[in-house]
A and B are shown apart, each in its own frame.
Chain A
Amino acid sequence: MLKKELGLALLILVIGGVSAFINPQFISQVNLLNLSNQIGLFGLFALGEGFVIITGGIDLSIGSMLALLGIIFLDLLVNHGFGWPLALAITVAGGALLGLIHGLLITRLKLQPFVVTLCGLLLYRGIARWYTQDSTQGFGYATDYDRLEWLMSGRTFDIPHTFIFLLIVAAILAVVLHKSMFGRYLFAVGKNEEAARFSGIPTSRVIVAAYVLAGVLTGLSSVFFVFYTQSVAPSAHGNFYELYAIAAAVLGGCSLRGGEGSILGIVLGMVLLQVLQNLVNILGIPSSLNFAVMGAVILLGVIADRELQRRRQNKIALASAEARSLARRPASAPV
């Protein structure tokens, strides 16, 4: 199913080409590198969301997790004097723990993913604001984190590390999703959980693992974002970011019904979203229209996809009619 990804890439090229034609600044090196930085930052947690969506679930808590985990990271580093490796490890583990809790609530108590992670969205944001008394947290007098800062927000050969890191993670996850047993199980569970269970797949464990993975990636993202924004305003940090992730996954071919999607698609989906944002700035479209442009493009994309799927279904109907007539033909004499 590379057709979808190809279509998306073409769309990105067309939109990029038109933008460059209108304002050549769009393809200036500075702009492209900034764009890649944004893609790297947002792409990371979008990949986690994609895994969750493939199981047929959803994670609405990502934005709030970014805020809470960002604050935990800063607090450990600044106020408690933790070394950066430990602070980083605890933050990522915290993300994993939250993902684990989501997964267990969904599989053990059979709660709906939407509800569980919606409560997460409210809870984590609330805790973050309460803990900081709604005040913005920064690096203050913390020292000895230069190395991490370089890793998280530096550039190598002018390429932002966020982007490089995204490419590495995406490559690994592409192997996991498309070549490993776990990946196959994810698709099977997303498409037909009952049949997967009847085939001996530990369906609950697979689902929990997807939420844990989303938590880990969100934990990592939270540190990247702390270095990107240099401070965390608990009431605004990461607001709506889960929606960017969902939008990227859906644009990239994930079905919210589960069982469909690819890593390449999710990355391209995020590229398209960031290109759109960038083009709003660069073409001088009022930035208040930002969300409206994004909404319109996603809607058009989904309509186009629906149309393609309908055609595919017609093809299947034809093919199965053919198969039935093939089956009716007496190939082997009945005993």
Chain B
Amino acid sequence: MPRRAMPRRATRSSPSMSEIFLELRSIAKTYPGVIALDGVSLSLARGEVLGLIGENGAGKSTMMKVLGGVIAPTSGSIVIDGVEHARLTVPQATAAGIAFVHQELNLFENLDVAANVFIGREPGFGGLLRLVDEKTMHARVKPLLARLGVDFEPSDMVENLSIAQRQMVEIAKALSLEARVIIMDEPTSSLTLTETDRLLEVIDDLQRNGVATIYISHRLGEVKACCDRVVVLRDGRAVGELAKSELTHAAMARMMIGRDLKSLYIPPKAPPKETGLTITNLVTDAFPDRAVTLSVRFGEILGLAGLVGSGRSTVAQTVFGVQPPLSGSITLDGAPMSVKSPRDAIAQGVYLIPEDRKRTGLVLDMPIVENISLADLKSHSRAMLIVGGAEQKVAEHQRRALKIKANSVEVEAVTLSGGNQQKVVLGKWLSMRPKVIIFDEPTRGIDVGAKAEIYEIMRALADSGVAILMISSDMEEVIGVSDRIAVMHEGRVSGFLEREDFSEHNVLMLAVGQKIYEDAAAHA
């Protein structure tokens, strides 16, 4: 790196904790129609553990991508060792000692630990042959592993390691790159309690050696335990900073929430029926020791809130037959439901609008009409042959009813905008006879106008007697659209909220596994 000064050795001699080597100055990042970051500033001192918290979509990940050189900020600058950059490139970030431990670990499972640590910069020998010098690699990785106090060898294959061990490989890789700051994004989401404790010890140890950590987590307990300082992001802004002595659950949660939500709520025309879809003690692979019980009645919209990874999508997919439950029962209108595949669920009128519409919701290369008729071809066919024009008629009807913006139903779904693609997925189910529709993140990546239209459709469906289960990580949506909210925390339902108790505060407390009243006590 040409312009980077190398003051590292010099600074290391200084004992001061407050010396700042990294600064992000009023970073903004805008995408068409969305402000992801709105002038956030951060600074980091040598060996400091900085907590970064905020709701889903508050801008934490975007901020870290700017720091890692993955995306360029729209405005603002990054200052490293006094040198100001308008943006960083990935090699620049790496050379500056910025390292990531990713949420989905980026390791090569088919290679051993040493090869992963040195990937892309393997020591070589043999001149033009450029053979990999395994010996040197292993010899250099060994002390790193010893420093982290782990129980595996440089020659172990990564595929045989646990998630926690793989994380340690990533940390070893960061250390071998002489990282000065390691960014950990939800590092403990798949760790056991003991493994989590071990990770926190390692962070502590790194800190003593002058390596700083940026710790991003939804788990406020851990944040409190290991961070020296916490910055809270909300809606792309830094809304507050807490020093070590001020770190309490209540204080952190209070700062994470608290914006005025526009009212999106359309009240139902009639109270919901008594029956609907009932899930009793459902246990899934994702959380084999937790059971989920909840019910959504015909005519209501039940919001299912919770943090990413709390098990909401797994519940949805299990009800829809994508994956089998370990145990538990599902009843529809009082009758037990047996679902072994999506085909079974669909036959009983239970439909899913999946989170990943491009992968599972649509056949992108097919025209709108074929996507809409795909699940219901039978009713457009006679003697297994598709009747000409029948599906076009239905699709055309849905195009008008849902205001799908396309010149004709023969247009391929891939050419549509996100909102219109979502409407095509909706059209597929609406042309049939829905009893229950599960919406998984119904408006992710969809612009405001289309969002409002989708909410209207959801309400109209509920009013016509459909039970609607809406999974959403968008607080505004959960509070604004639901008639009732169930909140999930680490694989179980941590609480239900009726409309009069709806608040960001209540949803968030339940989502992080806190009792609502405890915080009320803290307020007093």
* Alpha-carbon gap, A201 to B363, bound state (A): 12
A196 in the interface (beta carbon within 8 A): yes
B391 and chain A: residue at smallest CB distance: A184
Contact between A188 and B374, CB atoms less than 8 A apart: yes
Those of B341-383 within 8 Å (CB) of chain A: 341-343, 345-347, 352, 354, 359-366, 370, 374-375, 377-378, 381
Tell me which residues across on chain A come within 8 A of B375, comparing CB atoms.
199-201
Q: With A179-B386, A197-B342 in contact, is A327–B447 under 8 Å at CB?
A: yes
Contact between A181 and B378, CB atoms less than 8 A apart: yes
Tell me which residues across on chain B come within 8 A of A198, comparing CB atoms.
320, 322, 342, 352, 354, 360-361
Contact between B453 and A194, CB atoms less than 8 A apart: no
Tell me which residues across on chain A come within 8 A of B449, comparing CB atoms.
327-328, 330-332, 334
Question: 1/0 contact trace for B306-319 toward A, CB 8 Å?
Answer: 00000000000000
Tell me which residues across on chain A come within 8 A of B456, comparing CB atoms.
335
- Among B347, B363, B374, B378, chain A packs the most CB atoms within 10 A around the CB of B363
B415 in the interface (beta carbon within 8 A): yes
Those of B395-416 within 8 Å (CB) of chain A: 403, 405-406, 411-412, 414-416
Contact between A335 and B452, CB atoms less than 8 A apart: yes
B462 nearest CB across to chain A (Å): 16
Contact between A188 and B448, CB atoms less than 8 A apart: no
Contact between B354 and A320, CB atoms less than 8 A apart: no
* Alpha-carbon gap, A259 to B370, bound state (A): 13
B450 in the interface (beta carbon within 8 A): yes
Question: 1/0 contact trace for A165-206 toward B, CB 8 Å?
Answer: 000000000010001111011011001101111111110000
Contact between B363 and A323, CB atoms less than 8 A apart: no
B419 in the interface (beta carbon within 8 A): yes
Contact between B366 and A191, CB atoms less than 8 A apart: yes
B384 in the interface (beta carbon within 8 A): yes
Contact between A181 and B342, CB atoms less than 8 A apart: no
B492 in the interface (beta carbon within 8 A): no
A304 in the interface (beta carbon within 8 A): no
Tell me which residues across on chain B come within 8 A of A147, comparing CB atoms.
none
- Among B359, B365, B453, chain A packs the most CB atoms within 10 A around the CB of B365
* Alpha-carbon gap, A254 to B455, bound state (A): 41
* Alpha-carbon gap, A200 to B341, bound state (A): 8
Tell me which residues across on chain B come within 8 A of A335, comparing CB atoms.
264, 266, 452, 455-456
Question: 1/0 contact trace for A306-335 toward B, CB 8 Å?
Answer: 000000000010011001101110111011
Those of B406-435 within 8 Å (CB) of chain A: 406, 411-412, 414-417, 419-420, 428
Question: 1/0 contact trace for B268-280 toward A, CB 8 Å?
Answer: 0000000000000
- Among B322, B354, B414, chain A packs the most CB atoms within 10 A around the CB of B414
Contact between B374 and A196, CB atoms less than 8 A apart: yes
A185 and chain B: residue at smallest CB distance: B377
B385 in the interface (beta carbon within 8 A): yes
Tell me which residues across on chain A come within 8 A of B451, comparing CB atoms.
334
A312 nearest CB across to chain B (Å): 10
Tell me which residues across on chain A come within 8 A of B406, comparing CB atoms.
323
Contact between A200 and B342, CB atoms less than 8 A apart: yes
* Alpha-carbon gap, A155 to B320, bound state (A): 56
Contact between B403 and A199, CB atoms less than 8 A apart: no
Those of B34-91 within 8 Å (CB) of chain A: none
Contact between A184 and B374, CB atoms less than 8 A apart: yes
A residues neighboring B (CB under 8 Å): 175, 179-182, 184-185, 187-188, 191-192, 194-202, 259, 316, 319-320, 323-324, 326-328, 330-332, 334-335
Beyond the given pairs A327-B420, A332-B449, 18 more chain A to chain B contacts, judged by CB atoms under 8 angstroms and listed by A's residue number, are A180-B385, A188-B374, A195-B360, A195-B362, A198-B320, A198-B342, A198-B360, A198-B361, A200-B342, A200-B375, A259-B365, A323-B417, A326-B405, A327-B416, A327-B417, A328-B33, A328-B417, A334-B453
A-B CB proximity, top 5 nearest: A200-B346, A327-B417, A199-B375, A334-B452, A200-B343
Listed by A's residue number, 12 A-B pairs whose Cβ atoms lie within 8 Å are A181-B378, A191-B366, A192-B359, A195-B360, A320-B414, A320-B416, A323-B406, A328-B447, A328-B449, A330-B449, A334-B448, A334-B449
